[in-house]
């Protein structure tokens, strides 16, 4: 039977995707979202399918979500709707509600799939028959439908039982689903319905399974083989594998070759040992009996069974097993060259593919063929743009390095212009051959025994390395190309060439005439200059202008004029947001430096201004904009740069002259005026007379000792006393303490201890004109000739160093003084300043025309800066120091305490965020240290604490790595010496994995590990579910499949809504307003829920960052 339907005679094909969308199929739904855009583009570019549609089915216990249908999408730009639908759209015919008539645009189809949610499922079997019935209803007889069916559960068969089977039988009645519903009550009858007999509808069904249970394999392998398709089992259930299998099957069916997937993933082809046995199966009862026989009657003779075989296939080998279409596809390249409309459509589609999923270009032979065709089309004006875009997107990939390198290597062939460049050089007239530049192959600039990147010979550079200037102006890239420019040899005339160069052919030693920089030569010099390093290398317009800017930045005089020509020719092209790579510090800084070089030469008379370009390489408005953006970004990068501020000293129980004294009328000791009240009573004695009832104002038990401590009757202004400073930032008053041994907290003056007491009022403060510190000095004790504008504190009068240097940062100063002194952001022209986003983000989210006028970096202002509440006495120098960092485009560099690499200070982070630990590490070190632990893995206890102080890190430090969600971590730390613990992937708790006495060395690596309690709970849930349906005797494989689908959600203890935690901590905030713990179901208030999680479930990371 299978052989008789191996190829189709029909020439029109539709693609229908039939998806089991129950709870266990989430990975398949994600894979469909990933592969569907690529499928649509393949169809649009090749016209391989006239229509594409998607059906999702579940089970009858899922109500209205039983079936979801997208409608038919016509992806080809040349697609025409059926005549009857055209009549319908023009209003000439009233159309009945028919799912086969439902239409969807590409956007609607993608939106439909993105909104599909894995849900429900009820018992183990699903309503696959109903899904097939709807599929048959929406198909058409005049086309062959290629159906991709994804599932992990069998259909409802007699042996599966359950109420859903009976409901499905009643639903599949004769008049349902276009009058063919009854044909799908029986599984074998359903398969025969898709054979297209007697002019009926025809489908070839490829099934992709994520399970190997017998009930699933037998039913779906029969369906696929009977209709001429394949039954493929997925060994590694992840979205990438599923997507690659889907695309691979479709490409193999098209006959355009296999995908370029290079992974080692494998799938299993399930087939029947003797396909002729399919003809003996007349009803699903045969399949049903066959399964029951295998499960219960193992003693019965083998002749009553149907044997199945498995064949392991690499993804790259799908082309050898997938039946292909009868008619061959059109040649894409010929169609591209012959049809201008199709050519425009291809370039549009390729641009979209590169932007959405650039990796598809290298693994999809359809995209790859068209890409090569476009790359060979030198006359296509968007060709260079597409190549540049491809390279940029490859750099942005977060894929593994080997994947990235593979794509770069694949791309390099698209950049080979050797033939074009050689023809261009041959066309240069003899009189324009000089002056020229060339690379002398006999010159060796390498240093012996140096294998660093710096010592790499020029002929070892790859094309992608030379072309990187189009994607970034990072200092490493500029240094690499600067090495190329400085090692070029220059010949003014033929006689200047060395003999060996003169005798060499242009192919052996390319010589690039400077005449190619002229406008009449289309300014090709800088575009082909790197051909001397690696033949065939050609730059696009923008990168060639940047290379010219680099030559000016380096002051290469022999290339100066041709660089001016190139940059003046590109002068109007820089200010566009369509090229994000321009909007970064490296690129904009390079352009500003080149322009400054040009203006300096014009000013000094070295270079004559050119009429066509004015007197600047950049337009005035562009230069103002670029400089504003560069200065702003450099200011942001220097927010953590160390600045030295001069402020008044802060005494911390230091000895200093007592200053003015007054005799206390109670104790008769000369006391500092800083502790005297208005009634000639010192602060110590006032506690016996003051009516204040606060604890501070009560006489201590050792009152007599304190009154006489550190004081004598002979004390005077020069006597040394203990000084402190009030710790309140808005006070900072300095005063004397007579019992420093009793001061064990931060100092706080009498007035700040009674902020709301009107009797005491405000502190009587006087500011020193020298150190600008404040001292408490009651008016009652000030001399009659007291002049506050000339007064100096006793410490300054005593010659003490009262003005000290204190290191700070712009960020700290901004927190205390606001940002107006840093940035004049008029009318909020820049949204969210200092948000850490890229320059391109800033440029694309503001009014660029107004930015230079409304954004000023370090503006002139009379704002008096303060540090910890104290005036900064060298504010001008602090601003000048910061301005120097900004204008020089430099940032402060510091060393990582873990890897000892030198990084910008803005990229260094506290190692643990705890007080007393002053170690800082780079972002990569923080990731590799705290990020080594994860759900489903063995816990590395050493990596749960700070590598330096060995304390638990602050929650903000480790929250990025999910460690704050690790339960029972406290218990795991306590027993780490006796047990090896692992992080349960399901419940999120640290659980015992094995005793350390049983481990010989490090235990083997594990993935997605679940603890015994979670495994037992799931098995019990499955056992109960199977018992409820009288299915306890299912085979072990089927039981495991049910287990994988039996992850039960938990119930809100208040409203009873089913809740499933996908990520995050155990704090569940229900829409009903209840806050409860997912681990144990306890209800708590919003304020107490984290206390509960910490106390009951032992997380290490709880509370604030402070100790």
pLDDT at 384: 77
pLDDT at 550: 96
pLDDT at 382: 85
CA 530 vs. chain centroid, Å, equals: 34
Provide long-range contacts, Cβ within 8 A and 24+ apart, for 1069-1077: 1076/1052
Helix axes 26-46, 365-376, angle to 10 degrees: 40
Two structure tokens written together for 895: 């060393």
Two structure tokens written together for 1015: 């495994």
Q: Model confidence over 299-335: pLDDT tens digits?
A: 333 334 457 788 888 877 787 888 888 777 777 778 8
Alpha helical stretches, state H, 463-512 = 463-467, 475-486, 499-502
Alpha helical stretches, state H, 579-710 = 585-603, 620-637, 683-686, 703-708
pLDDT at 721: 94
Instruction: Please name the residues in contact with 772: beta carbons below 8 A apart, sequence gap of 6 or more.
Output: 647, 648, 870, 871, 873
Q: What integer best gives the mean pLDDT of the chain?
A: 83
Average pLDDT over residues 79-95: 49
Query: DSSP state, 775?
Result: E
Is residue 584 very low, low, confident or very high in pLDDT (cuts 50, 70, 90)?
A: very high
Fold for 13-77+100-291+305-321, please state it. Answer: Rossmann fold (3.40.50)
Query: DSSP state, 250?
Result: H
Measure Cα distances from 235 to 238, 252, 315, 1004 in Å. Answer: 9, 20, 12, 22
pLDDT at 11: 76
Distance CA 1097, CA 666 (A): 60
Two structure tokens written together for 356: 């959405």
> Among 28-37, 74-83, 436-445, 850-859, where is mean pLDDT lowest?
74-83
Query: What does the CA dihedral 896, 899, 904, 908 come to, rounded to 10 degrees?
Result: -50
Two structure tokens written together for 1053: 């203890």
Q: Do 95 and 101 touch, CB atoms closer than 8 A?
A: yes
Question: Which of residues 506 and 923 earns the better pLDDT score?
Answer: 923
Is residue 915 very low, low, confident or very high in pLDDT (cuts 50, 70, 90)?
A: confident
Judge whether residue 536 has pLDDT over 50. Answer: yes
Query: Domain spans of the chain?
Result: 13-77+100-291+305-321, 332-415, 425-618, 653-787, 902-1010, 1051-1106
Distance CA 408, CA 987 (A): 42
List beta partners, residue 1067. 1077
pLDDT at 299: 39
pLDDT at 122: 62
Distance CA 14, CA 55 (A): 14
pLDDT at 518: 93
Classify residue 177 by burial, with Cβ atoms within 10 Å: 0-12, 13-18, 19+. Answer: buried
- Name the strands in the sheet holding 489-491, side by side, starting at the edge strand that comes first in the sequence: 489-491, 436-438, 511-513
pLDDT at 471: 83
pLDDT at 552: 95
Judge whether residue 692 has pLDDT over 80. Answer: no
Average pLDDT over residues 636-644: 93
Two structure tokens written together for 585: 């510090």
Cis peptide before 857 (omega within 30 of 0): no
Find the length of the chain.
1107
CA 76 vs. chain centroid, Å, equals: 33
pLDDT at 1026: 62
- Which H helix or E strand runs over 166? helix 163-171
Helix axes 340-357, 365-376, angle to 10 degrees: 120
Sign of CA dihedral 258, 261, 262, 268: negative
Judge whether residue 1070 has pLDDT over 70. Answer: yes
> Among 311-315, 565-569, 645-649, where is mean pLDDT lowest?
311-315
Average pLDDT over residues 45-68: 89
Classify residue 834 by burial, with Cβ atoms within 10 Å: 0-12, 13-18, 19+. Answer: middle
Alpha helical stretches, state H, 115-213 = 128-138, 163-171, 187-193
Average pLDDT over residues 191-196: 91
Distance CA 548, CA 551 (A): 5
Judge whether residue 643 has pLDDT over 50. Answer: yes
pLDDT at 96: 46
Q: Tell me if residue 602 falls in helix, strand or coil.
A: helix
Average pLDDT over residues 933-953: 90
Judge whether residue 1048 has pLDDT over 50. Answer: yes
Q: Model confidence over 353-380: pLDDT tens digits?
A: 888 888 777 777 788 778 878 877 767 8
Q: Do 202 and 163 touch, CB atoms closer than 8 A?
A: no
Is residue 4 very low, low, confident or very high in pLDDT (cuts 50, 70, 90)?
A: very low
Q: Do 415 and 498 touch, CB atoms closer than 8 A?
A: no
Measure Cα distances from 834 to 635, 822, 837, 910, 1058 in Å. Answer: 9, 11, 8, 20, 43
Distance CA 524, CA 517 (A): 6
pLDDT at 123: 67
Q: Model confidence over 794-823: pLDDT tens digits?
A: 999 888 899 999 999 999 999 999 999 999
Pairing relationship of beta strands 67-69 and 144-151 according to DSSP bridges: unpaired
Radius of gyration of the chain (CA): 40
Distance CA 180, CA 927 (A): 59
CA 602 vs. chain centroid, Å, equals: 46
pLDDT at 217: 83
Judge whether residue 433 has pLDDT over 90. Answer: yes
Query: DSSP state, 998?
Result: G
Is residue 240 very low, low, confident or very high in pLDDT (cuts 50, 70, 90)?
A: confident
pLDDT at 543: 93
Judge whether residue 549 has pLDDT over 70. Answer: yes
Judge whether residue 495 has pLDDT over 50. Answer: yes
Distance CA 129, CA 243 (A): 25
pLDDT at 162: 63
Judge whether residue 759 has pLDDT over 70. Answer: no
Judge whether residue 690 has pLDDT over 60. Answer: yes
Q: Do 380 and 374 touch, CB atoms closer than 8 A?
A: yes
Two structure tokens written together for 96: 């009945």
Measure Cα distances from 870 to 630, 906, 1100 in Å. Answer: 32, 26, 39
pLDDT at 1063: 55
pTM of the model: 0.63
Q: What are phi and psi of 313, to 5 degrees?
A: -130, 135
**Closest C-alpha to 205, from 185, 216, 190:** 190
Q: Do 607 and 598 touch, CB atoms closer than 8 A?
A: yes
> Among 258-267, 494-503, 674-683, 1063-1072, where is mean pLDDT lowest?
258-267
Judge whether residue 564 has pLDDT over 70. Answer: yes
Distance CA 628, CA 643 (A): 23
Q: Which residue has the tokens 């039939």?
A: 18
Instruction: Please name the residues in contact with 271: beta carbons below 8 A apart, sequence gap of 6 or more.
Output: 221, 225, 231, 308, 309, 311
Provide long-range contacts, Cβ within 8 A and 24+ apart, for 784-788: none
> Among 396-405, 771-780, 932-941, where is mean pLDDT lowest?
396-405
> Among 71-85, 582-596, 1066-1080, where is mean pLDDT lowest?
71-85
Q: Could you give the angle at the alpha carbon of 914 between the alpha carbons of 910 and 915, nearest 5°? A: 110
Q: Model confidence over 145-167: pLDDT tens digits?
A: 999 999 988 898 887 666 788 88
Q: Do 251 and 43 touch, CB atoms closer than 8 A?
A: no
Question: Which of residues 970 and 148 earns the better pLDDT score?
Answer: 148
pLDDT at 7: 40
Centre a 10 Å sphere on the Cβ of residue 1051 and count the other Cβ atoms it contains.
13
> Among 72-76, 466-470, 827-831, 1046-1050, where is mean pLDDT lowest?
1046-1050
Q: Which residues of 669-693 are buried (b: 16+ CB within 10 A; e: fewer)?
A: bbbbbbbbbeeebbbbbbbeebeee
User: pLDDT over 70 for what percent of the chain?
Assistant: 86
Average pLDDT over residues 727-741: 92
Q: Do 132 and 1 touch, CB atoms closer than 8 A?
A: no
Question: Which of residues 550 and 1077 earns the better pLDDT score?
Answer: 550
Is residue 614 very low, low, confident or very high in pLDDT (cuts 50, 70, 90)?
A: low
Provide long-range contacts, Cβ within 8 A and 24+ apart, for 945-949: 945/912, 946/911, 946/912, 946/914, 946/917, 946/919, 947/898, 947/911, 947/919, 947/921, 948/897, 948/911, 948/912, 948/917, 948/919, 949/911, 949/912, 949/914, 949/916, 949/917, 949/919
Instruction: Please name the residues in contact with 112: beta carbons below 8 A apart, sequence gap of 6 or more.
Output: 54, 68, 70, 71, 104
pLDDT at 252: 86
Average pLDDT over residues 399-415: 65
Judge whether residue 598 has pLDDT over 90. Answer: yes
Judge whether residue 826 has pLDDT over 60. Answer: yes
pLDDT at 300: 39
Average pLDDT over residues 19-40: 86
pLDDT at 1104: 52
Q: Which residue has the tokens 């317009």?
A: 541
Measure Cα distances from 916 to 512, 640, 919, 943 in Å. Answer: 63, 20, 9, 19
Q: Which residue has the tokens 């046995």?
A: 277
Average pLDDT over residues 858-887: 92
Sign of CA dihedral 839, 842, 847, 850: negative
List beta partners, residue 855. 825
Distance CA 1088, CA 1042 (A): 38
């Amino acid at each position: 039977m299978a052989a008789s339907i191996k190829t189709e005679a029909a020439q029109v094909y539709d693609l229908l995707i039939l998806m089991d969308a129950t709870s266990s199929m989430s990975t398949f739904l994600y894979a469909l979202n990933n592969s569907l855009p690529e499928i649509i583009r393949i169809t649009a570019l090749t016209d391989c399918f006239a229509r594409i549609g998607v059906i999702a089915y579940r089970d009858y216990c899922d109500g209205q979500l039983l079936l979801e249908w997208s409608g038919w999408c016509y992806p080809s730009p040349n697609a025409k709707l059926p005549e009857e639908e055209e009549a319908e759209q023009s209003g000439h015919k009233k159309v009945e509600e028919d799912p086969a008539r439902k239409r969807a645009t590409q956007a609607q189809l993608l939106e439909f799939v993105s909104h599909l949610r894995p849900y429900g499922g009820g018992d183990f079997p699903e309503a696959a028959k109903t899904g097939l019935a709807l599929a048959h209803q929406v198909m058409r007889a005049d086309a062959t439908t290629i159906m991709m069916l994804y599932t992990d559960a069998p259909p409802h068969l007699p042996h599966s039982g359950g109420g859903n089977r009976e409901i499905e039988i009643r639903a599949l009645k004769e008049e349902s689903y276009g009058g063919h519903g009854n044909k799908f009550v029986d599984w074998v009858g359903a398969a025969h319905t898709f054979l297209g007999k007697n002019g009926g509808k025809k489908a070839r069904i490829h099934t992709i399974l994520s399970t190997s249970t017998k009930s699933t394999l037998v039913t779906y392998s029969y369906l696929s083989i009977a209709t001429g398709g394949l039954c493929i089992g997925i060994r590694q259930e992840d979205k990438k594998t599923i997507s690659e299998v889907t695309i691979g099957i479709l490409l193999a069916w098209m006959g355009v070759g296999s995908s370029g997937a290079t992974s080692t993933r494998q799938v299993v082809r399930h087939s029947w040992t003797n396909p002729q046995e399919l003809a003996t199966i007349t009803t699903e009862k045969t399949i049903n009996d066959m399964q029951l026989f295998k499960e219960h009657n193992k003693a019965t003779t083998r002749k009553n069974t149907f044997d199945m075989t498995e064949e392991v296939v690499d993804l790259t080998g799908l082309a050898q097993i997938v039946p292909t279409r009868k008619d061959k596809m059109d040649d894409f390249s010929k169609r591209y060259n012959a049809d201008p409309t199709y050519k425009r459509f291809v370039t549009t589609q390729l641009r979209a593919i590169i932007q959405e999923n650039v990796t598809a270009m290298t693994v999809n032979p359809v995209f790859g063929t068209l890409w090569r065709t476009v790359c060979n089309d030198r006359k296509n004006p968007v060709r260079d743009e597409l190549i540049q875009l491809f390279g940029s997107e490859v750099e942005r990939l977060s894929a593994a390095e080997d994947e990235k390198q593979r794509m770069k290597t694949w791309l390099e062939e698209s950049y080979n212009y050797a033939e074009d460049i050689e023809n261009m050089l041959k066309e240069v007239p003899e009189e324009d051959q000089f002056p020229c530049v060339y690379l002398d192959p006999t010159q060796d600039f390498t240093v012996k025994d140096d294998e660093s990147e710096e010592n790499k010979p020029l002929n070892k550079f790859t094309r992608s390395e030379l072309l990187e200037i189009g994607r970034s102006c990072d200092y490493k890239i500029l240094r690499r190309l600067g090495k190329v420019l400085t090692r070029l040899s220059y010949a003014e005339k033929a006689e200047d060439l060395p003999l060996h160069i003169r005798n060499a052919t242009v192919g052996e030693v390319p010589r690039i005439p400077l005449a190619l920089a002229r406008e009449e030569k289309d300014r090709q010099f800088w575009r082909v200059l790197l051909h001397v390093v690696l033949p065939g290398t050609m730059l696009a317009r923008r990168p060639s202008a940047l290379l010219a800017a680099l030559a000016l930045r380096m002051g290469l005089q022999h290339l100066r004029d041709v660089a001016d020509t190139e940059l003046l020719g590109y002068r109007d092209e820089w200010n566009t947001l369509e090229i994000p790579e321009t909007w970064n510090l490296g690129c904009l800084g390079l352009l500003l430096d080149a322009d400054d070089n040009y203006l300096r030469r014009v000013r000094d008379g070295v270079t004559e201004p050119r009429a066509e370009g004015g007197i600047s390489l950049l337009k005035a408005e562009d230069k103002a904009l670029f400089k504003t953006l560069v200065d702003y970004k450099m200011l942001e990068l220097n927010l953590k740069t160390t600045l030295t501020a001069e402020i008044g000293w802060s005494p911390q129980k230091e000895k200093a002259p007592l200053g003015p004294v007054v005799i206390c009328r109670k104790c008769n000791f000369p006391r500092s005026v800083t502790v005297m009240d208005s009634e000639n009573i010192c602060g110590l004695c006032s506690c016996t007379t003051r009516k204040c009832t606060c604890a501070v104002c009560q006489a201590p038990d050792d009152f007599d000792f304190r009154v006489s401590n550190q004081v004598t009757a002979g004390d005077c202004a020069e006597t040394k006393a203990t000084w402190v400073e009030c710790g309140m930032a808005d006070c900072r008053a300095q005063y004397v303490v007579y019992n420093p041994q009793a001061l064990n907290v931060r100092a706080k003056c009498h007035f700040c201890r009674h902020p709301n007491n009107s009797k005491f009022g405000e502190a009587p403060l006087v500011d020193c004109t020298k150190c600008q510190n404040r001292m408490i000095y009651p008016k009652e004790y000030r001399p009659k000739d007291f002049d506050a504008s000339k007064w100096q504190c006793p410490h300054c009068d005593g010659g003490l160093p009262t003005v000290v240097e204190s290191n700070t940062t712009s960020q700290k100063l901004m927190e205390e003084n606001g940002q107006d002194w840093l940035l004049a952001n008029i009318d909020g022209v820049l949204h969210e300043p200092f948000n850490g986003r890229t320059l391109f983000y800033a440029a694309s989210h503001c009014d660029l025309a107004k930015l230079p006028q409304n954004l000023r970096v370090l503006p002139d202002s009379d704002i008096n800066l303060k540090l910890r509440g104290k005036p900064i006495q060298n504010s001008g120098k602090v601003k000048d120091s910061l301005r120097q960092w900004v204008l020089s485009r430099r940032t402060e560099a510091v060393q990582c305490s873990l890897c000892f690499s030198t990084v910008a200070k803005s990229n260094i982070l506290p190692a643990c965020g705890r007080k007393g630990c002053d170690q800082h590490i780079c972002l990569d070190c923080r990731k590799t240290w705290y990020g080594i632990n994860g759900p489903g893995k063995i816990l590395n206890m050493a990596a749960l604490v700070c590598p330096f102080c060995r304390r638990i890190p602050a929650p903000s430090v480790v929250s990025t790595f999910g460690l704050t969600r690790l339960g029972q971590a406290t218990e795991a730390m306590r027993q780490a010496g006796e047990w090896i613990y692992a992080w349960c992937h399901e419940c999120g708790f640290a659980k015992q994995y094995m005793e350390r006495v049983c481990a010989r060395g490090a235990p083997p690596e594990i993935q997605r590990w679940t603890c015994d309690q979670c495994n037992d709970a799931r098995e019990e849930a499955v056992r109960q579910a199977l018992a409820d349906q009288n299915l306890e005797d299912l085979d072990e494989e089927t039981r495991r499949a049910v287990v994988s689908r039996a992850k039960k959600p938990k119930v809100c203890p208040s409203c009873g809504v089913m809740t499933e935690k996908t990520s995050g901590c155990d704090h569940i905030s229900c829409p009903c307003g209840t806050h409860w713990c997912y681990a144990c179901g306890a209800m708590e208030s919003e304020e107490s829920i984290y206390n509960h999680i910490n106390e009951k479930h032992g997380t290490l990371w709880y509370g604030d960052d402070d100790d």
